[in-house]
A and B are shown apart, each in its own frame.
Chain A
Amino acid sequence: KNQVEQSPQSLIILEGKNCTLQCNYTVSPFSNLRWYKQDTGRGPVSLTIMTFSENTKSNGRYTATLDADTKQSSLHITASQLSDSASYICVVSGMAGGFKTIFGAGTRLFVKA
């Protein structure tokens, strides 16, 4: 079964600290993996997208890594800001039974002053 699992479910950190969010998937064959940021009451906004051949992608203070062999990805946030408080959703696409896109449940990040 194609699945995307994220951890932790929620996370509280102090402003200025770094954090890492995890995403494990079983989608196969794999096409691409995306990380989205979703602010409360808004639609998800794309942060990074990685294909099979890429193992890291950065977008400002956000750095995503991908290990296609172990089917794991992480999103590292450096020097967190209050505005980073949001849900971070891992999305994996693959060609299992036609092109499918599977969403993780997200990690809810709270950044405290």
Chain B
Amino acid sequence: EAGVAQSPRYKIIEKRQSVAFWCNPISGHATLYWYQQILGQGPKLLIQFQNNGVVDDSQLPKDRFSAERLKGVDSTLKIQPAKLEDSAVYLCASSHATGAYGYTFGSGTRLTVV
């Protein structure tokens, strides 16, 4: 089975610019997650989708971050405007239903804000 696809792999932008990341989950996985992983820390959940509905976005900085999952498949995560502290790896993961049996991560997008 194909894995979780993410693009781009790397992105460097200046502060106050905008950026978008794309994720294609494993086929048939209803749940999609976006995580932010700052260097030396574990991943932090930003937003969780079940099909095309938002299940949990309590830790998403909504003044600058937005995400959508149109048609319940692919998803995009956007940051506008970016701040220096947004420099991190953005991981996308997908799973069946609640993820009780584990989920699969993509390779991530490494964002550097300068």
Name A's B-contacting residues (CB within 8 A).
Answer: 4, 31-32, 34, 36, 41-46, 49, 89, 93, 98-99, 101, 103-106, 108
Contact = CB atoms under 8 A, between A and B. Distances in A.
Nearest to A32: B100
A90 to B, nearest CB: 9
A101 B105 CA distance: 14
Interface in B74-114: 91, 93, 98-102, 104-108, 110
**Secondary structure dominating the interface of A:** strand
Nearest to A98: B56
Contact of A43 (B40, B101, B102, B105): B105
A93 B100 contact: yes
B110 A41 contact: yes
B43 interface: yes
Contacts, number: 47
**Secondary structure dominating the interface of B:** loop
Given A43-B4, A43-B108, A106 B98 contact: no
A103 B44 contact: yes
Contacts of A99: 98-100
A46 B99 CA distance: 12
Contacts of A101: 45, 99
Contacts of A108: 40
A41 B88 CA distance: 11
A60 to B, nearest CB: 17
A104 B107 contact: no
B12 to A, nearest CB: 15
Given A43-B4, A105-B40, 7 more contacts: A32-B100, A32-B102, A42-B108, A46-B102, A99-B100, A101-B99, A103-B44
A43 B98 CA distance: 20
A100 to B, nearest CB: 8
Nearest to B98: A99
Interface string B28-47: 00000000000011111100
B42 A103 contact: yes
A31 B105 contact: no
